[in-house]
Amino acid sequence: MPDFSPWKKRFRLAAGYFKGRPMWCAWQITYRCNFRCSFCHYWKERPRKEEEQTLDDVRCGARKLAELSSLLISIAGGEPTLREDLPDVVRAIARYHFPFITTNGWRVTRQMARDLWKAGLWGASISIDYADAARHDAMRGVKGAHDRAVQALRYFVQERTRKHQRVNLMAVLNHENLDQVEPLVRLAKGEGAWFMVQPYCNLKTGDDTFRPPANGCAEVLMGLRRKHSNFLSNPVFLENFDVASNGGVPGCAAGRAFFNIDNYGRVAMCVEDRGRPVGSLRDDDIRGILRRLHGRHMDNQCKSCWYNCRGEIESLYTLRGALHSLPTLLMT
């Protein structure tokens, strides 16, 4: 299958959207992690490097997914930069799709940022939860995490080769950092980056300690979005933060608008449903996988999360949300 041009990928993404096919895929290329975040237990699982998908698996999987449409693909983990072949992974996915990465920034060098952009990376999100370095380091379990994350943000901004290559500062809203959001927005702006936010969810740990305040978050966030032009999160997504903390947002579109691929190539409805895969990207027909994802979606009553990968994508299926975000996603 020949590489798709950027405009062909945009057309295929839009066509898939109007056909009701998934737009977003979270592809966990590794669950290994070099951090010890208190609000995430993935690092405790100690997955084996040799069991991860190979580069050939990624190439084959990207081609299979292209049989459906071009997708927005979040390359995540774990910590994706622990894959030494990350530029090649990005290149394989970028042949047909729009690859993004989310990273803690620790291993990012100027050369890595340059190589990833050249490989076809569409966007990069660097996780920073506090403008206060000591508080961020404590939450992430690694001294110096904040400084390295800011440096990574700077590298990705400075090494961009095209205007459409988007760099985000991504914050996880928790029980104590609402006051840090505006300083983080300003930090991102000072580095020439966008700002995005998502609420903590207890699905990763079972611990409600880090849950954001039940009321008032949406109003504060919407006010900051109106105030700061680089606050990119979709307003429809932000308006539901309080609902998410008070019983949950109904109508989850997992399996219909988005899905997950784990480090073994197993496909599930969402990242937190990976224990119940519907098939293998390596071994199964992609259209059969899609049918089973839709079937799982029809039975889905979950309201537990309001992750960025859910809320931002579901916002696109409202007129107001689509008008806010689709131009950015499809920008030249």
Other Cβ atoms within 10 Å of 234 Cβ, number: 25
Spatial separation of the C-alpha atoms in residues 252 and 27, rounded to whole Å: 19
Total domains present in the chain: 1
Spatial separation of the C-alpha atoms in residues 78 and 52, rounded to whole Å: 12
Spatial separation of the C-alpha atoms in residues 136 and 16, rounded to whole Å: 39
Chain center to CA of 239? 19
- Candidates 146, 129, 128; CA nearest to 137 is 146
Tens digit of each residue's pLDDT (9 = 90 or more) over 99-157: 999 999 999 999 999 999 999 999 999 999 999 999 999 999 999 999 999 999 999 99
Domain presence at residue 1? no
Structure tokens at 225: 């979005």
Spatial separation of the C-alpha atoms in residues 278 and 55, rounded to whole Å: 22
Domain presence at residue 148? yes
Which CATH number is 220's domain given? 3.20.20.70
Structure tokens at 109: 């060098």
Domain presence at residue 121? yes
Is the pTM for the entire model greater than 0.85?
A: yes
Structure tokens at 51: 């069991």
Alpha-carbon distances, residue 188 vs 107, 175, 229 (angstroms): 19, 22, 11
Q: For the residues of 201-216, what is the DSSP string, one character each? A: -GGGTS-GGGPPPSSS
Residues 6+ apart with CB under 8 A from 84: none
Domain presence at residue 93? yes
Domain presence at residue 277? yes
Q: Taking a C-beta distance cutoff of 8 angstroms, is the pair 121, 72 a contact? A: no
Domain presence at residue 303? yes
Tens digit of each residue's pLDDT (9 = 90 or more) over 34-90: 888 887 766 566 666 768 999 999 999 999 999 999 999 999 988 999 999 999 999
Instruction: Provide the residue range defining the domain that includes 172.
Output: 6-329
Model confidence at 205, pLDDT cuts 50, 70, 90, reads: confident
- Candidates 173, 167, 152; CA nearest to 81 is 152
| pLDDT of res. 332 | 47
Model confidence at 323, pLDDT cuts 50, 70, 90, reads: confident
Spatial separation of the C-alpha atoms in residues 197 and 158, rounded to whole Å: 22
Domain presence at residue 161? yes
- Candidates 79, 101, 105, 122; CA nearest to 26 is 101
